[in-house]
């Protein structure tokens, strides 16, 4: 059996085919060049027809390579919104998670702040309902709009020629104004904001099929990309750390937990993800690399091609170093927060010690976020690490392992979100638990 998963990212679109033995038979990455030029810094839109065309090309290439497919699943960039007509055709571009019209001032703060006060939900600029609220206030919602959805839900719908989108709860929650316990959009809150509940798609908590392609390949309901990445990385009794540009630590709760200590997100089969997010993560290390490059240039020296390997090697030899809090992008709770370094002495004021300190700070920030909500959960069986920040930096992996007092295991396949979509399609097709399907995951060492 062969299962295709497609992940629609902001800058790339990836497809993978997984078989029932856990072997990856096909991988294809395409650039997502669907971004539409904008006249202002707040706008970020993509051409959904162009995205759909790339997904169809990946699907066709997978069919050609594998001859047949047993199911196809989708995931992709959450929070964004597409407006559809009554036939399911797009009336708008994708307003992505980076579209910040809701950050513009309204009568009482920004549109997003105003919506948050009205609904009682914390809704950030870029969330689907925040974008919709700002557009409604500006009277710019497309004429004839009958539904909204995320881009991957739109593509899934188009693949099976449906006219009305269906959102998995893991995806729907990204819009905001979503009742996490009841797993539905909060109609009363939307009404207070003047948003039409009939525009919002049906929501399902089940990982199920929504139709078939023209070739008869079953299509499973699209899922959120954060949840897909966790599904494609870590079993539910593990804690997952991911370091890319930003960084996250996630763990699975077996029930809904109301807490302000973590982001609570719908997962699968009645379970929830508790996630702590650090906004800098690997970006903090890239800033240090940039600092060293500028130092070379300041002295009239051309920087070497690769600085990271030398930085890592130098940091490994350091045992005494200052303390860095790498909040270069602020925090979710306090966007104005800044990074700082303390405990600098005449013996540790060196480039090597500073490098070690930044890496240690990245690991410590995620561990502190996890420590805040970990008392709500059972002790994890293992630690899993994903993202290029971990895959390409053995020292950072070791620092995480030391912090969590657990051996760190890295998934062998790096396209975790696309793999998670394929696993969800496999589970829906074969009528098994998604957690049972995770037995196919492979790691650098067994978990």
Which domains does the chain carry? Answer: 2-225 (3.30.420.40), 236-410 (3.30.420.40)
Per-residue pLDDT tens digits for 348-358: 999 999 999 99
Please, which pLDDT band fits residue 238 given cuts at 50, 70 and 90? very high
User: Could you tell me which residues come within 8 angstroms of residue 64 by beta carbon, excluding any fewer than 6 positions away?
Assistant: none
User: Could you tell me which residues come within 8 angstroms of residue 438 by beta carbon, excluding any fewer than 6 positions away?
Assistant: 231, 235, 236, 423
User: Could you tell me which residues come within 8 angstroms of residue 196 by beta carbon, excluding any fewer than 6 positions away?
Assistant: 190
Residue 332: predicted pLDDT: 67
Three-state SS at 32: coil
In which element (H, E) is residue 282 found? helix 282-298
Per-residue pLDDT tens digits for 75-101: 998 889 999 999 999 999 999 998 999
**Residues 248, 432: Cα–Cα separation, whole Å:** 28
Check whether 447 has a pLDDT greater than 50. Answer: no
User: Could you tell me which residues come within 8 angstroms of residue 273 by beta carbon, excluding any fewer than 6 positions away?
Assistant: 226, 227, 230, 250, 251, 252, 253, 263, 264, 265, 266, 267
Three-state SS at 404: helix
Q: Are 138 and 145 in contact (CB under 8 A)?
A: no
User: Could you tell me which residues come within 8 angstroms of residue 235 by beta carbon, excluding any fewer than 6 positions away?
Assistant: 381, 382, 435, 438, 441, 447
Please, which pLDDT band fits residue 445 given cuts at 50, 70 and 90? low
Check whether 240 has a pLDDT greater than 50. Answer: yes
**Residues 416, 228: Cα–Cα separation, whole Å:** 7
Per-residue pLDDT tens digits for 150-160: 999 999 999 99
Q: Are 203 and 193 in contact (CB under 8 A)?
A: no
User: Could you tell me which residues come within 8 angstroms of residue 422 by beta carbon, excluding any fewer than 6 positions away?
Assistant: 3, 4, 5, 16, 17, 18, 73, 232
User: Could you tell me which residues come within 8 angstroms of residue 431 by beta carbon, excluding any fewer than 6 positions away?
Assistant: none
Q: Are 324 and 357 in contact (CB under 8 A)?
A: yes
């Amino acid at each position: 059996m062969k299962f295709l998963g497609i992940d629609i990212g902001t800058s790339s679109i990836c497809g993978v085919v997984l078989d029932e033995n856990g072997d990856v038979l096909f991988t294809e990455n395409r650039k997502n060049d669907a971004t539409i030029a904008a006249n202002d810094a707040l706008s970020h839109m993509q051409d959904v027809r162009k995205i759909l065309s790339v997904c169809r090309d990946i699907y066709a290439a997978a069919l050609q390579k594998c001859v047949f497919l047993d199911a196809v699943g989708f995931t992709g960039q959450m929070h964004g919104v597409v407006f559809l007509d009554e036939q399911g055709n797009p009336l708008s571009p994708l307003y992505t998670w980076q579209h910040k019209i809701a950050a513009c001032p309204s009568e009482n703060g920004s549109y997003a702040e105003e919506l948050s006060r009205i609904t009682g939900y914390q809704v950030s600029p870029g969330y689907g309902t925040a974008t919709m609220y700002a557009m409604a206030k500006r009277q710019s919602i497309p004429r004839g709009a009958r539904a909204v959805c995320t881009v991957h839900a739109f593509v899934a719908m188009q693949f099976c020629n449906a006219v009305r989108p269906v959102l998995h709860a893991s995806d729907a929650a990204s819009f905001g104004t979503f009742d996490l316990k009841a797993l539905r959009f909060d109609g009363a809150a939307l009404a207070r904001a003047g948003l039409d509940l009939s525009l919002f798609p049906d929501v399902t908590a089940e990982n199920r099929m929504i139709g078939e392609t023209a070739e008869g390949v079953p299509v499973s309901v699209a899922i959120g990309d954060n949840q897909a990445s966790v599904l494609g990385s870590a079993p539910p009794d593990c804690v997952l750390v991911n370091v890319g540009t930003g960084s996250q630590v996630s763990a699975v709760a077996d029930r809904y937990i109301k807490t302000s200590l973590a982001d609570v997100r719908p997962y699968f089969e009645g379970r929830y993800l508790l996630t702590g997010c650090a906004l800098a993560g690997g970006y903090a290390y890239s800033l240090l690399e940039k600092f060293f490059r500028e130092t070379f240039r300041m002295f009239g020296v051309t920087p070497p091609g690769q600085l990271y390997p030398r930085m890592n090697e130098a940091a490994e030899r350091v045992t005494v170093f200052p303390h860095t809090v790498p909040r270069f992008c602020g925090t979710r709770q306090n966007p104005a927060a800044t990074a700082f370094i303390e405990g600098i002495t005449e013996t540790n004021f060196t480039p090597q010690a500073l490098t070690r300190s930044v890496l240690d700070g990245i690991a410590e920030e995620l561990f502190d976020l996890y420590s805040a909500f970990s008392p709500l959960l059972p002790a994890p069986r293992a630690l899993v690490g994903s993202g290029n920040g971990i895959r390409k930096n053995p020292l950072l992996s070791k620092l995480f392992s030391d912090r969590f007092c657990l051996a760190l295991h890295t998934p062998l396949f790096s396209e975790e979100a696309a793999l998670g979509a394929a696993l969800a399609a496999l589970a829906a097709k074969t009528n098994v638990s998604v957690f049972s399907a995770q037995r196919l995951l492979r790691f650098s060492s067994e978990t």
